[in-house]
Structure 1
Amino acid sequence: MTTDLVLKLTQQVDAAPERVFDAWLDPKMISRFMLTGAGTGVAKAETDPRVGGRYDIVMTNDMGEVPHWGEYREIDRPDRLVFTWNSPHAV
């Protein structure tokens, strides 16, 4: 059985909306902010920022590599970004 989950994230950031939006699509920026704590890193970050495009992020921690991937569903810069999120821990 598959369950679709929805997460709506709201965060106040002291930066221009375009800059924050673009950070979610830029592999170099993703590698800087997708860290969950000490001892974590990003081994790979690739994006194809277009509707139907895919992203791949491989995070690292003390247990090894954890892949994350998904597809961009909506891109309305800088107001709305909708994408799927998959990882071995999301099942």
Structure 2
Amino acid sequence: MPANTIKLHVAHSYRAPPATIYDAWLNPEIARRFLFATDDGHVVRADIDPRVGGRFIIVDRRPTGDAFHHGVFLELKRPRRIVFCFSVEEHDHNCDRVEIDIEPLGSGSRLTLTHEMCAEWAEYEEKTRQGWTHIIEGLDRELELSASSKRSNPEAGQSAGAMA
């Protein structure tokens, strides 16, 4: 990253433990329901290779066209930290850096996301902050729905083999 950067921060508290939060970011079936998903779009592709050097691509089909989100994992320390290089265009050479830190908080956890972006994109800082806030709140909604489903249907958390 160039020396002239902007760092924005968003944070959110969850009832779920750090490992659950961490795993959700790296599981394509869960991530497709909150990561870069917009209210008027539909995630049509969620490929995640959860290893250092592994890549991800999330494609959200929106009324204005497909939005591509690409990244490369730089650091993975389960269950506390995920760092990735991020861009919204496949060939964007000014790849931003995103750090996700997850700390225990009582029986739940607190996620702090830091996005370091080139200062030339300063006019998008607030929109970017709103986007990340939507994402981390979407994760909370997804986890609450999943927990509620498991409470009302205890077998939902078991594998098919365990139920047979």
Q: TM-score, normalised by structure 1?
A: 0.83
For 1:33, the aligned partner's letter is F
Tell me the TM-score normalised to structure 2 length: 0.48
Change (3 A) 1:83 1:42: same
Query: Which aligned pairs between 1:69-88 and structure 2 lie closer than 5 A?
Result: 69-88=70-89
**Structure 1 or 2: more strand by fraction:** 2
Alpha carbons 2:56, 2:72 under 8 Å: kept: yes
Structure 2 residue aligned with 1:36: 38
The 1-side partners of 2:67 and 2:43 are apart by 9
Shift of 1:65: 0.6
Change (3 A) 1:79 1:52: same
The corresponding residue for 1:59 is 60
Taking a change above 3 Å as real, the CA distance of residues 5 and 67 of structure 1, as seen in their structure-2 partners, is farther
Q: Which has the larger radius of gyration?
A: 2
- Structure 2 unaligned residues grouped into runs of 5+: 95-164
Q: Which has the higher contact order (CA 8 A, sep 6+)?
A: 2
CA deviation after TM superposition for structure 1 residue 10, in Å: 2.4
Counterpart secondary structure, 1:11: strand
CA RMSD of aligned residues (A): 2.1
Identity, % of aligned positions = 35
Q: Structure 1: which 4+ aligned runs deviate by more than 3 Å?
A: 2-9
Structure 1: how far apart are the matches of 2:30 and 2:74?
A: 20
The change in CA–CA distance for 1:61 and 1:30 in structure 2 (over 3 A counts) is: same
**Secondary structure at 2:60 match in 1:** strand
**Which deviates more, 10-19 or 44-53?**
10-19
Higher helix fraction (1 or 2): 2
Deviations 1:36-83 (A, max 9, x none): 22x211010001100010001101111111111110000001111001
Please tell me whether residue 23 in structure 1 is matched to residue 7 in structure 2. no
